[in-house]
Structure 1
């Protein structure tokens, strides 16, 4: 009788555990679906739609991978190649094809950075630069809401800026905006991939922004395997479960 009671108790525990797992998955899937379906995640952050520092006058606009114009597709490809080809070396031709498929996917969210032309009239000079005044595009962010280690996360696929606007605080500004978007959409963490040869990017994320090499990065999963990989996965977790699973 005692053994039978133990077995019954064990079955109940397993049933409850499965139920908890399914409920958690339902909640997580719902968060990702809701975030991914947002038409414009930037709309809730009007203070981040313009950037006026260190001689830059810029404005931001959101976008989706399956709705990019032909000119934006060409721009993204061109800037990616300009900034990243040297870091991938001989792997670039293959990687470029992968990145092209990623960039036009429906789940790809974008933040485009536009230069604001110099305004001439006194009335115009008093205006805060907005997307109505946008000029040439000068950079972009590609990010997605995905599941990682059974947790909802915001994954930064690309943050690419033209050289003339680099080193002026814009990268930090954009990452702060992404953290706000992640928090607002109940994501557990932000993840991103950095090429090992891209020392300036690695320093930027780890030393300036406080990101760490994630527990799911190849070098952490298996150091021997990690030696053969040319990238690291970096992470910033927002709650204890994410810190445990991802950091």
Structure 2
């Protein structure tokens, strides 16, 4: 019997989280890790710390998207960075009562939740290691920052007080240019319907002949104009099928995602099922 190709496509909001088991949340590593005054060169370049800022902004915007109301997030951590430039541990530093209570205008994000999300993001960070006498050494630096997101989704700096790591971070500015919402009021839809994606997908010959079937999950980052800026493979089952699915989504034009009537960027997960019958 001739095999028939069935491809199922659906679009839904990407909002999954990952368990934090790569970066330890600890009480104290201070004796093992050197401060900025004890090293010749601190850990982290400007470009590397820009990526940290991008992740911080994304964390805050994700929380705003969940609540859809003004929020405030207090980041006050000590980062312990090993000789290879990886974050080995994070310590929660005391937060002033002035900034740890809600003022009525903004909802304060739970510090335990924020710490977990920060630790999740820190697993992927890679810094240029700190050095002393031309040798890489363990380094610790503090990050203190309070961010607020208003009713329009705009991030505002409350306390741009960054210590140690802030020697570079304090020179950088927070913008919303690279923030992709997790949830928006008007989700993007493929222009031309689901067929606009399906018509771009051809079942790879080798996978078809081998009877390979499965589901590909692709995260699409869609800008204000409905153009897919980039795609990421969340989960795949066959390299060729994965590539076909990602390319099809990358080439698809979507309607403009909107929040409060204004075009915004959004991230969505798109599962594509390859099935032979």
State the TM-score, normalized to the length of structure 1.
0.29
Greater share of strand = 2
State the TM-score, normalized to the length of structure 2.
0.27
Greater share of helix = 1
- The structure, 1 or 2, with the larger RCO (C-alpha pairs under 8 Å, 6+ apart) is 2
